[in-house]
Copies of this chain bind each other. A is one copy, B any other.
């Protein structure tokens, strides 16, 4: 059994991680750390876990673990690692953005997108888990990048569920405001653009194209749908083949010939990508669950890879479907 610790377990990604790990056949949770909730039952915070676990939030960390998940706010992971001396034998999977960019990652941290970096992940002890928008958008573009086909400006509009903004209370997460609403935020300036750019360049050395990215706040709780296009010489069939080939050995990312909708992936670790040609434009739709493939599910997928488990172990989740 892999012994796991979770830091920052009271938030959305921490809770989602616990939901996965308590049913993971090869994992034993040693502690779920939370400063604010130390001593409380995990199921008093993540109330859907009533009856599933008697764990309590721990005020401190123990070192009898094989893997440590950091589910902290952006900036806090770096601080945590500066202030805590983690045993070198322990693998660390960080869900914040602190180590995603090469300038912060150095040679130590691997970018944890298995569809891009699977072999590097397997041998790494430090994983920077990708952002949710970044995961969704990259999965829509990687097959083209790998063929050097991202030779034109890229246009992206992506809508995220409310859990993407975390559980903090804010005007834009108030039910009365968000219900039945839609809005744009951080147009052209979302922080995930940087990690997307680095990944595309990793596959497509000469990639210098503009990524135009319009993020939107949707009135649903889970999921991201990204609609993207660029000028391309490919036909629909050629593009489908390139995508199918690229993802053939990746168990969570699937290519659909049919039009897709967000709920096909909600509450799963899957991504589904659809490509079709319109005139001179190649159009790509990509969907994920922001808390799973976009966060905690991908973190467990990375753990599976590091420890030599089957990549899908503990991650064959029933879609909510409705």
> Which of A's residues lie within 8 Å of B, judged by CB?
12, 15-16, 19-20, 23, 44, 46-52, 155, 157, 159, 161-163, 167, 169-171, 173-185, 187-189, 210, 212, 214, 216, 218-223, 225, 227, 229, 251-252, 254, 256, 258-268, 270, 272, 276, 278-279, 281, 283, 285, 291, 316-322
Contact = CB atoms under 8 A, between A and B. Distances in A.
Contacts of A222: 180, 320, 322
A7 B182 CA distance: 30
Contacts of A319: 19, 48-49
Nearest to A166: B176
Given A159-B216, A175-B221, A184-B225, 13 more contacts: A46-B321, A47-B258, A47-B260, A48-B321, A50-B254, A50-B256, A50-B264, A173-B174, A180-B220, A180-B263, A182-B218, A184-B227, A219-B220
A63 B114 CA distance: 42
A30 to B, nearest CB: 20
Contacts of A47: 256, 258, 260-261, 264
Nearest to A261: B183
A23 B318 contact: yes
Nearest to A16: B321
Given A189-B278, A321-B15, A176 B155 contact: no
Contacts of A169: 169-171, 174
B182 A159 contact: yes
